[in-house]
Structure formats: structure tokens, C-alpha cells
A and B are shown apart, each in its own frame.
Chain A
Amino acid sequence: MKWSKQEFLSRAGLGHDTLQAWIEEEWLIPDNSSAEISFSDIDIARARLIRDLQLDFGVNEAGVGVILNLLDQLYGLRRTMMELRRAARTTSE
């Protein structure tokens, strides 16, 4: 699902300036390939996570960057583990 900037802001509960700052920090990487910037479901979920980290957990800006970086590595490892599990299953069949 693709969302326009307006739809994204209302779904993620963000203001325009916050969004700009997050994109500059590369916390969010929306799709820039066409003339109109667009957002996907994962961008919304990630924005909600960042908001949780900042508002609910009191994580400061530096902390958010560190957490996102570690989380992305963690999810990368999980994806790879799933790939490996599938590869192992295919091989044993």
C-alpha cells in the first residue's frame, strides 16, 4: 500500500517538520523515485516505533538512531535466519 505525504502524516501522527527531520536523519527512507514522494506501510510502522521510543520510552535523539541501527541489524539477521531455514529445508528434501 502506498500513501501520499498527507495520508502518511495523519496515519503516523506526525507533523511536517518532524517528518523532514526524520528523513534527514535517515530514520525514514520514503520512496523518492517518482516526482511525488510516497510512503509505504513499513514507513508508517517505523514512524510509530520512533514515536513510541521518544514519547513513551523517553529515548533522546541520539538514542533513537542507535536503537534503529541495532534493530535493523537484528531484523536483517532474522530475515537471513529465515532464508537459511528455508534453504536447509529445500536441501534436505
Chain B
Amino acid sequence: MGRSWKFGDDIDTDAIIPGRFLTIYDPKELASHAFEGTRDEFSKEAKSGDVIIAGRNFGCGSSREHAPLALKGAGIGFVVAKSFARIFYRNAINTGVLPIVCEHTDKIPDGSEVSVNLPEAFIEADKKRYPLEPIPEFMMKIVEAGGLVEYAKMRGNK
């Protein structure tokens, strides 16, 4: 269980982590600057188990992997959005912040009590359940391995 952090459409990677912090790569330190200047309370209050709920095209813009890493450092395990920008989607899978498509995010308000049930493919928000779209099969292989690093290690050891 965690709280929902609600965002709108087209949340770009400059908003998630501004360009001036890109020399950092420690997830915790990045997290201390997440959404700086646009949603300052996030870095102070977000905690493990919280979920980001967003509209269309979440993570558009730069290829900076610092964006999912900053969310990971803040304890975010899932981003649930109507759609994702392509590079962010891959980066999020690779770093283990799971991007999940759900067309019902409009119905989930900010600050709801939420939990994601991946095996049964639903998100529960304030006791209501909404279906989630499955992660594409070829991406699931990476998720199941525990991220691309682990996947690469398995391949490297073959």
C-alpha cells in the first residue's frame, strides 16, 4: 500500500529530473531532486510503495535514464499511465520501475490509497479496482530476470 501521486499528460523527463542534475547517478541523490521546481513536495514525502498515476505520454523528451532512477530512488515501484513515451518505457523496464498502461487513470485522484496487483493485472485505489494492460511478452523476460542488468549477466554466463 502506498499513496498515489497524480500527474497530467506529457510529463517530460526535464520535469522528472532537470538537466542540471545529470552528473549525479545515485538513485537516492537523484530522488532528492525529482520534480524539483514543479512539484517540490514529491522528493520530501514520496516513500516506498507509492505509485505515480499519470495521463498520456509519461516520460517524453530526453533518453536520460536518470528519470526512472530518480523515481526508483524515491521508492516508486510502478508508474501507471494512459501511455508512455517509448524511451522512458524501455528505461523504466530496464531499471525496474514498472511502467503499466491503464486507461482509467483519470478516475484515480491524487493522494488515494493504492496498490498494484501485477499477477492479477489490476490497481486498487481507494478500494476500487481498475484493470491494467499486460506488459508485452518480450519485455516480461527482462522484468522476470530482474531488469536488463540481470538479463545480461545470465546471457554473459551462458
On whether the two chains bind one another, the answer is no
Report which A residues bind B (CB closer than 8 A): none
